[in-house]
Amino acid sequence: MKTKIQACIIDDEQDGRDYIALLLENEFPEIESAFQASGVEEAYIYLSRNTPDILFLDVQLKDGTAFDLLSEFRDINSRIIFITAFENFAIQAIKNGAADYLLKPIRKMDFIIAVNKVLETIKKSKNPSHIPINENKISLPTLQGFKLTNISDIIRCEADSSYTTFYLTDKTRVIVSKTLHEFEEQLTKYNFFRIHHKHLINLFHLKEYIKGKGGQVVMADHSVLDVSVRKKNDFLHKIENIE
């Protein structure tokens, strides 16, 4: 029988603990809320003997702070999602190894995105080669889990802040909470080229190039995308030497 992913919820408010537990139950049945605590001392006793996969950690606790708790340990191997009502704690949270942080009141969508991000890192640690699964596929984390996609089916990728939208040959779109830069490094060897800070394209789905200062490309999905001036020469050279 498959063991569930273990989560520990540390929040000084009962309502806060209940809300996180409810979200886990409804949205992530593969995660078990194994332990809850409201303060540093109670959490310390548990974490001294247990290593949950995910630690939901409120910054302000009834008898101290999350940072007081973490200072008691040389290392915490759990993935930590900090919870705070104050955005100015974000930098300190990151310095303390935050996988992500959530602002109170917690929004359901932010919670789902943060947990999916952590689940992805857990899967990578247990199976480092799962992205890509093989030389022809890529696993795209989604709000519901992940979508296993043929790399050849990706027409283009578009950046939107810390998110990336994948446009596929079946006319579907997949939104992933990772930066375009992360996928650029992974996909370049498959004849993808970043023509603009917003656009990474599959050259095998390129239909037309329109001349201009930087120029434009027409893709298989009929999208028309700008080529940045500084990328133009490298792009044209790549087209001439496409493998």
Instruction: Give the whole-angstrom CA distance, residue 108 versus residue 129.
Output: 30
pLDDT at 242 over 80: no
Query: Is the same domain home to 98 and 15?
Result: yes
Residues 35 and 93 in one domain: yes
Q: What is the pLDDT of residues 163-187, one digit of tens each?
A: 899 999 999 999 998 888 888 888 9
The CATH number linked to 109 is: 3.40.50.2300
Closest C-alpha among 98, 110, 137 to residue 20: 110
Q: Are residues 95 and 173 in the same domain?
A: no
Question: 217 versus 130: which is more confidently predicted?
Answer: 217
**Residue 221 reports pLDDT greater than 50:** yes
- Per DSSP, helices labelled H in the chain are 14-27, 40-49, 66-70, 90-95, 108-126, 180-187, 229-240
131 lies in some domain: no
Residue-range definition of the domain harbouring residue 227: 137-240
pTM: 0.53
Which of 96, 126, 156 is the C-terminal boundary of a domain? 126
Does 152 lie in the same domain as 61?
no
- Is 15 found in the same domain as 122? yes
Task: Spell 128-144 as b/e; 16+ CB within 10 A means b.
Answer: eeebbeeeeebbbbeee
pLDDT value, residue 56: 96
Structure confidence at residue 125 (pLDDT):
66
What are the pLDDT digits (tens) for 50-80? 999 999 999 999 999 998 998 888 778 889 9
Residue 182 within a domain: yes
Q: pLDDT over 90 for what percent of the chain?
A: 56
Provide the mean pLDDT of the chain. 86
Q: Which residue has the higher pLDDT, 43 or 189?
A: 43
Total number of domains constituting the chain: 2
- The residue that leads in pLDDT, 146 or 228, is 228
Tell which wins on pLDDT, 10 or 91.
Answer: 10
**What confidence tier does 193 reach under pLDDT thresholds 50, 70, 90?**
very high
Residue 118: is its pLDDT beyond 70?
yes
**Considering the domain boundaries, does residue 217 fall inside one?**
yes
Of 126, 161, 190, the residue that ends a domain is: 126
Span 216-225, average pLDDT: 94
